[in-house]
Structure 1
Amino acid sequence: MPVIWSITPKAPGTAPGAFALASSDRAEYRLSLMPHLSMGPRGFVRIIAISATVLALPLLGVLGTPVLWGLLPFAGLALWALWYALSRNSAERRALREDVLLTKERIEITRVNPRKPAQHWHANPYWVRVKLAEKGGAVENYLTLEGNGREVELGAFLSPEERASLYHELSRALRQMR
């Protein structure tokens, strides 16, 4: 799950890891949002191995001829390009994240973008409104926070179901903090 809540201190009697309401005035809600990584290291190796096999099949027909040496660099270049694209995509997905800190006095959002400077937004949680545009937004279940004269999108890389779930959890956390 790409949504991780950390609440300190938790309400008494709640199970570890469960979403619970904070129990004191100095409580903090920390939320980390990360994109889902659909391919792990094993999947990466499989894709490269399958691609190498598929690229090698046509080369079997020209084995032992000078044509092999003409085609081999292009097959190697295609395999390297696939490896590079998958590696770069994976690295950028790991670098992308949004962190939300919610206390009684302040809500802060920090979005860490790959190859760009981090973006920051803050407001008083009492005046912040959480909005979910189920239809008609940029995407299905478009989640935004409005406050301090700005409206910011939250969880752009999450699925529509995850954004809807996050909307309900964040609304509940804001109500508790008020």
Structure 2
Amino acid sequence: MPMYWTITPQAPGTVPGAFALAANDGAEYRLSLMPHLSMGPDGFVRIIGISALVLALPLLGVLGTPVLWGLLPFAGLALWALWYALSRNSAERRALREDLCLTKERIEITRTNPRKPAQHWEANPYWVRLNLAEKGGVIENYLTLEGNGRVVELGSFLSPEERAELYAELSHALRHLR
């Protein structure tokens, strides 16, 4: 899952775990959310290779004729367009992330968007409400934080199951710090 918790400082004498902190030890929870990258470098090479093979098959019939030189630029352009689209999608998915910092005094979320300025939100965690709209909405398990006069969506790129798990962990962390 593309969710990474970092908790500092750890309370002395506790077993390491997600929420093994004393309520008054200045605990700071940091959460980084990133979209899941379904295709790695090996998959990228395979897709480009298979596409090159599929584009080359029709060209075998016109080998040695002037028609080959007319079709070759279009096949090359199609292969380049696929390579460009996959590379750009991968780069934008890597640039997208949400960072959450939760302490006893404040909760703040910074969302880094590709090709757009970062968005920032903060509030007092005591007054923040965490909501999970499970069914009946446009999005299943729609996760929001409400506080400081705003409603902020959290983990929009996560799957419904991951948002439900994030809701459970984040509500536990909020209860722990209150």
Normalising by the residue count of structure 1, what TM-score does the alignment of the two structures yield? 0.96
Match runs of 1:3-152 below 5 Å? 3-11=3-11, 12-15=13-16, 18-23=17-22, 24-152=24-152
- Where 1:37 maps in the other structure, the secondary structure is coil
* CA-based RMSD: 1.0
Contact 2:105-2:125 within 8 A present in 1 as well: yes
Compared CA separation, residues 22 and 138, structure 1 to 2 (3 A)? farther
User: Which whole-Å CA distance do the structure 1 matches of 2:47 and 2:15 have between them?
Assistant: 43
Runs of 5+ consecutive residues of structure 1 not aligned to the other structure: none
Name the amino acid aligned to 1:123: A
Contact 2:32-2:97 within 8 A present in 1 as well: yes
User: Which whole-Å CA distance do the structure 2 matches of 1:21 and 1:156 have between them?
Assistant: 28
State the shift of 1:19 in Å. 1.5
How high is the sequence identity, in percent, across the aligned residues?
81
State the shift of 1:13 in Å. 2.9
State the shift of 1:9 in Å. 1.8
Contact 1:21-1:173 within 8 A present in 2 as well: no
- Where 1:61 maps in the other structure, the secondary structure is helix
The CA deviation string for residues 115-168 of structure 1, in whole angstroms up to 9 with x for no partner, is: 000000000000001000001233100000000011000000000000000000
State the shift of 1:7 in Å. 0.6
- Where 2:146 maps in the other structure, the secondary structure is strand
The CA deviation string for residues 8-38 of structure 1, in whole angstroms up to 9 with x for no partner, is: 12344323xx322322431100000000000
- Where 2:130 maps in the other structure, the secondary structure is strand
Name the amino acid aligned to 1:9: P
User: Which whole-Å CA distance do the structure 1 matches of 2:59 and 2:105 have between them?
Assistant: 66
Contact 2:14-2:20 within 8 A present in 1 as well: no
Normalising by the residue count of structure 2, what TM-score does the alignment of the two structures yield? 0.96
Tell me the number of residue pairs that the alignment of Structure 1 and Structure 2 aligns. 176
